[in-house]
Amino acid sequence: MARSSLKLTPDNRRRAHDWLDRALSYYQPESDAAWVMELHDAARSGEQNRALWGLLGQIQKQRPTHNGVRMTPDLWKAVFMQAWGAEVVFLPTLEGDGMFPAGHRSSQLTKAEFGELLEFILAWTAKAGLTIRHFDEERKAAA
């Protein structure tokens, strides 16, 4: 059986069960062949990703520097990921004249974790007194 992915919904639970039954029918304890079943939370949505980058862009425009560092939306993302609790490592550049963040991949977050990150950033913006528009409104204003 080839690698397959199936989003579990009430409508396709039977199909997922059939796939598991089919894999088990091929199982032979004496062989070295193995099957792996992986279940995980849904990944972030495209809408969440657009919201994050719209939010980070608005923050960068209102706070172009942070503790003397000229910020980009990507650097703001690293700052928020670290503050939220995600592992972030700063590595030196090849020339040794600066540092850059690594290990702050929001693409690895689940949909629920991504939602928590967005709420964390929005709470910070409210505390900092920033004016934030919904990402769809911001995109329309920029066009």
Cβ within 8 Å of residue 91, ≥6 positions away = 99, 100, 101, 102
Q: Look at the chain and count its residues.
A: 143
Q: How far is CA 96 from the centre of its chain?
A: 29
pLDDT value at position 32? 63
Domains contained in the chain, CATH given? 1-39 (no CATH), 46-142 (1.10.3790.10)
* pTM, 2 dp: 0.66
- Phi, psi dihedrals of residue 104, rounded to the nearest 5°: -115, 50
Is pLDDT at 56 greater than 80 in this prediction?
Answer: yes
Reported as a pLDDT band with limits 50, 70 and 90, residue 1 is very low
pLDDT in tens, 3-18: 667 777 788 788 878 8
